[in-house]
A and B are shown apart, each in its own frame.
Chain A
Amino acid sequence: MAEITFLEAIREGISEEMERDPSVFCLGEDIGAFGGAFKVTEGLQARFGEQRVIDTPIAEAGIIGAAAGAAHYGMRPVVEMQFIDFISCGYDMLTNYVATARYRAFLPCPIVVRGPSGGYVRGGPFHSQNPEAAFLHTPGLKIAYPATAEDAKGMIKAAIRDDDPVLFFEHKYLYRRIKGTMPAGDHIVPLGKARLAREGKHLSIVTYAATVWKALEAAEQLEREDGLSVEVLDLRSLLPMDDAAIVATVKKTNRVLVVHEDTVTGGIAGEITARINELCFEWLDAPVRRVAAHDVPLPYAPPLEDFVLPQTSDIVRASRWLAAY
């Protein structure tokens, strides 16, 4: 089978689920005939009709709320945030209404809220965000953040089928740069399971999304230049998080670097570090260290953005520190 891009993989996943289940429908801004700002939904309205690919007003809270109402009555809506930065406009609806629906009122709320996230694309402060940590703290939500095209397809399908609300982050840097060959048949990647992206024995890098690829680059350089064998764990799902996979890699290498693109303070790396501390402290030969973005809004100019975001060279430097500890 031919290779397709990360973006096409998501479209293929949504399309297959719409084909399989008539209760699946899409709503979002400019997603219909226009196909969405990044063209993820291109062709879907032509194929499935205006009833199942609905262009909405600019109203993130409104359409997330509407998706919840539809989900209560048996639908499985897939909501697009034109940029994931705008999910903050729906924060109340997601955290207060959607996330609590099952617990407080036994209301089924199987919605997917998806959209392009992440930096390294000169998008500036409002088209580059990684808001996952803001939602990790909300019981009732699930969070997926794939790094490969295969996972993007398999996980969007799993998210649509999931009976709980899922936030699905699509790193826009990966949309057209990453390609993959889709496994034949009904390809599902379950939520909550990490993926070992590279095996190693000297130290582990725990990461997700675009920084998986930077960690893999760093691992190759470290092997070549330092003879270090670096393991890379791609979390794929942030909520629920695969504790077993994290513990397994810690027990194997005894040194852990947690890497993410989001800002460092209050970022998910802190949570991962706490879990390692609680679950396998005695297996550590060095303190858990973090590589993440500096605590500033993400600036536009290339020298500024490059300075703020974690780069492959940062991961290499931090790994050397950890290996020498």
Chain B
Amino acid sequence: MAVPSTTSPPANRSGLTPDQLLALYRWMRLTRTLEERLVALYRQTKVVGGLFRSLGQEACAVGSAFALERRDVLSPLIRNLGSMLVKGAEPLEILRQYMAKGDSPTRGRELNIHFGDVVDRNFVGQISHLGDMVPVMAGVTLTFRLRGEDRVGLVYVGDGATSTGAFHEGINFAAVQRCPLVVVVENNGYAYSTPTCKQTAAGQFVDKAIGYGIPGVRADGNDVLEVYRVTREAVERARGGGGVTLLELLTYRRKGHAEHDNQSYVAPGEIEPWAQHNDPIDRYAARLTTEFGFDVATLARTDDEVRSVVDAATELAENSPPCDGPDALIGVYANPPAMPALWYRDGVGPAVAAHERPASWGTHDG
């Protein structure tokens, strides 16, 4: 796969303040530092499930989410940790989630970054079935349109999910209904081990926009300012009643599908150019110092600050309590609030009945 062009628009077209420019850097750095911490915890077997990296893709998630307002709704995928951080997810939540802690956002029910907050920060917890979030976000944004609310939605899919029926059904319905939705195809070259050439016969994913009657834009996904710019345009179109936009962001997955994956299917020498010449953080750091007047010390201070944030969160997460077994029976339904324990589990029934619902629980039920 070819390395995308690294030419970028001139500095004065970013439209961002110095604080915002530095914030973009910080979100990408936080994403990477947090994931590196998770790798360490994974190797210590403190992450009990799989670990998914977005190494080299941080600009896609951060640049696109940065174009949203707090009231707008984001539907992240497994490589969009950065977008969730931008939307207000805390490193502590991520760490507790991966470590299956009792005070994690899903109280141990779900893995990794599969969690959401539709009350305040506005991101929707994904499921593992790829493509499914597109119809869901069509419904979220249909609601905004029906109620006349000034809110838009953004949903990520990978190159692989574009092959699913759910992707097609969702984007088609959203397009017909002129929902205020941005669909981001984050093309990182691989769906697990499957390269894009075995995923589609289309020359480029952005071509699919034509079939849905919506605008399609293709951009360099490793240029955070370019990602921000094209997303911002799509968000403004959605906000102005212009309906759905399909964005294809070109990037590259430098790690395996998950931490266990040794990438045996990747051709020798394919990864290195991306790491050496097209790392989104390195590229952006260079631009910040050469084009935007930031000094190296400022970036180093940000790196240190981010590391101390992750250190503090790690300590808190390590000291978080484990889950309590009988809590598994709570919350399948609004009513009944708990399922009964099976007859052979002596003593569990009363424990469930006495279980207190923490204040953080069921906040959507009023």
Contacts and interface: CB of A to CB of B under 8 A. Distances in A.
Interface in B319-366: 331-336, 339, 343, 361-365
B115 A163 contact: no
Contact of B142 (A69, A139, A142): A69
B166 A102 contact: no
Contacts of A59: 135, 169, 172-173
Contacts of A61: 132, 135, 165-166, 169
Contacts of B288: none
Contacts of B335: 162-164
A89 B365 CA distance: 30
B172 A57 contact: yes
B132 A139 contact: no
A155 to B, nearest CB: 15
Interface residues of B, number: 47
Given A73-B118, A97-B129, A164-B333, A66 B172 contact: no
B331 A97 contact: no
Contacts of B331: 102-103, 106
Given A62-B172, A66-B136, A96-B127, A106 B143 contact: no
A125 interface: no
Contacts of A71: 139
A65 B364 contact: no
B118 A72 contact: yes
Contacts of A51: 146
Interface in A45-72: 51-52, 54, 56-57, 59, 61-72
A296 interface: no
A140 B324 CA distance: 21
A106 B363 contact: yes
Contact of A66 (B114, B135, B333, B334): B135
A164 B170 CA distance: 23
B136 A69 contact: yes
Contacts of A75: 143, 146
A106 B361 contact: yes
A183 interface: no
A97 B127 contact: yes
Nearest to B330: A103
Interface in B129-171: 129, 132, 134-144, 146, 165-166, 169-170
Contacts of B65: none
Contacts of B140: 69-70, 72-73
Given A92-B132, A106-B363, A140 B332 contact: yes
Interface string A112-144: 000000000000000000000000000110100
B124 interface: yes
Contacts of B169: 57, 59, 61-63, 65
B46 interface: no
A185 to B, nearest CB: 23
B135 A62 contact: yes
Nearest to A25: B146
A9 B198 CA distance: 52
A93 B132 contact: yes
A62 B166 contact: yes
A104 B166 contact: no
B333 A70 contact: no
Contacts of A69: 124, 135-143
A65 B109 contact: no
25 contacts: A59-B173, A61-B169, A62-B135, A62-B166, A65-B132, A65-B170, A66-B135, A66-B138, A69-B124, A69-B142, A69-B143, A70-B143, A72-B139, A73-B143, A75-B143, A93-B166, A96-B127, A104-B110, A105-B109, A105-B110, A105-B124, A106-B361, A108-B334, A162-B334, A162-B335
Interface of A: 25, 51-52, 54, 56-57, 59, 61-75, 77, 92-93, 96-97, 100, 102-108, 139-140, 142, 162-164, 240, 278
Given A54-B177, A64-B135, 16 more contacts: A59-B169, A61-B132, A61-B165, A61-B166, A62-B138, A62-B166, A63-B169, A66-B139, A67-B139, A69-B135, A72-B118, A73-B73, A97-B129, A102-B332, A104-B109, A108-B365
